């Protein structure tokens, strides 16, 4: 079974939590510790990526440290072809559908496709859309943000991702967002698409995680929480438990 197939299988049974680790934010051994803790807390996968990465070596070293410390699948969440690592298990082969810059829609993919083929890491097709406020990802990704209230726009993107044959759809408010994607938008998109819905950006507490899960998110991604929480295991455990509905 591929990693994507396994995620879909698990997501059909329960809500999933993915932990996002940005190699820019801490040394590899700390990233390894974070992944180990996330696994113990009930997270289902480690995503590795960030919008402001500068070094491929940093990605390699972070992925290797994570693989040493945890048995969770490591899925790259890359901002470009330069930041792939053969040590990962899979890569979100994601198109930033509302970017004005074709690099993020398809050109970086053309550059990175050879690496994916030769390294044997599993490509997981995903439509990626950034909703306001969008934060750094929205700015770097040169995005025409989906407005928080423009539900039809979000549904249109979700359906387009599905009709283009993508396996997952990710609604992103941006790392550190003060407001996460609204429950109304999540509900409406979930009602309209048949592929798993991933939601991230600004989800830092139990209440928000539960609300997003209840609204219809199949997978919730948290990043900032991993960097900021003092008692990480407890904080993540509570978030994962709150998503049980
Ligand atoms: C970024 O949505 C994720 O892609 C994580 O956001 O850092 O706000 O948890 P946070």
- Helix 232-242 to helix 28-41 angle (10° resolution) is 40
Q: How large is the average pLDDT for residues 207-211?
A: 98
Q: Could you tell me if residue 93 is left (phi over 0), alpha (psi between -120 and 50 degrees) or otherwise beta?
A: beta
Q: How large is the average pLDDT for residues 104-127?
A: 98
With a cut of 90, say whether residue 54 has pLDDT above it. no
Residues 132, 185: Cα–Cα separation, whole Å: 12
Task: Give the number of domains in the chain.
Answer: 1
DSSP-assigned letters across all residues of 52-119: T---HHHHHHHHHHHHHH--S-EEE--SSGGG--TTSSEEEEEEETTBSSHIIIIIHHHHHHHHHHHH
- Residues 150-196: tens digit of each pLDDT: 999 999 999 999 999 999 999 999 999 999 999 999 999 999 999 99
- Residues 13-27: tens digit of each pLDDT: 999 999 999 999 999
CA of 6 to the centre of ligand 1 (A): 23
Position 49 scores a pLDDT of 94
Report residue 53's pLDDT band, with 50, 70 and 90 as the boundaries: confident
pTM value surpassing 0.95: yes
Residues 231, 209: Cα–Cα separation, whole Å: 18
Position 51 scores a pLDDT of 83
Range of the domain at 201: 3-242
Nearest one of 175, 168, 106, 91 to 139, comparing CA atoms: 175
Atom index in ligand 1 nearest the CA of residue 203 equals 9
Report residue 102's pLDDT band, with 50, 70 and 90 as the boundaries: very high
Query: What Cα–Cα distance (Å) separates residue 102 from each residue in 106, 107, 111, 216?
Result: 6, 6, 13, 30
* Side-chain-facing half-sphere of 168: CA atoms under 13 Å: 29
CATH number at residue 113: 3.20.20.390
Backbone angles phi, psi at 137, to 5 degrees: -60, -40
Percent of the chain with pLDDT over 90: 96
Atom index in ligand 1 nearest the CA of residue 77 equals 4
Pocket of ligand 1 (CB under 6 A): 20, 172, 175-177, 200-203, 221-225
Length of the chain (residues): 245
Residues 13, 31: Cα–Cα separation, whole Å: 29
Position 52 scores a pLDDT of 84
């Amino acid at each position: 079974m591929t990693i994507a197939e396994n995620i879909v299988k698990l997501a059909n049974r329960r809500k999933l939590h993915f932990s996002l680790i940005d190699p820019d934010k801490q040394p590899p051994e700390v990233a390894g510790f974070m992944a180990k803790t996330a696994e113990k807390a009930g997270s289902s996968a480690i995503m590795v990526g960030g919008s402001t990465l500068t070094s491929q070596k940093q990605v390699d070293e972070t992925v290797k440290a994570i693989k040493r410390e945890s048995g969770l699948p490591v899925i790259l969440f890359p901002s470009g072809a330069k930041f792939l690592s053969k040590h990962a298990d899979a890569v979100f082969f994601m198109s930033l559908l509302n970017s004005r810059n074709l690099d993020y829609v398809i050109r970086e993919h053309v550059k990175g496709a050879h690496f994916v083929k030769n390294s044997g890491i599993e490509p997981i097709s995903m439509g990626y859309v950034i909703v306001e406020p969008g934060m750094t990802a929205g700015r770097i990704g040169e995005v025409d943000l989906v407005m928080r209230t423009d539900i039809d726009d979000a549904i249109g993107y979700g359906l387009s991702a599905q009709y283009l044959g993508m396996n997952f759809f990710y609604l992103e408010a941006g790392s550190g967002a003060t407001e996460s994607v609204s429950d109304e938008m999540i509900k409406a998109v979930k009602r309209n698409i048949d592929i798993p819905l991933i939601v991230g950006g600004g989800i830092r507490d139990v209440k928000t995680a539960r609300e997003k899960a209840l609204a219809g998110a199949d997978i919730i991604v948290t990043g900032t929480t991993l960097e900021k929480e003092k008692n990480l295991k407890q904080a993540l455990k509570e978030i994962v438990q709150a998503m049980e509905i």
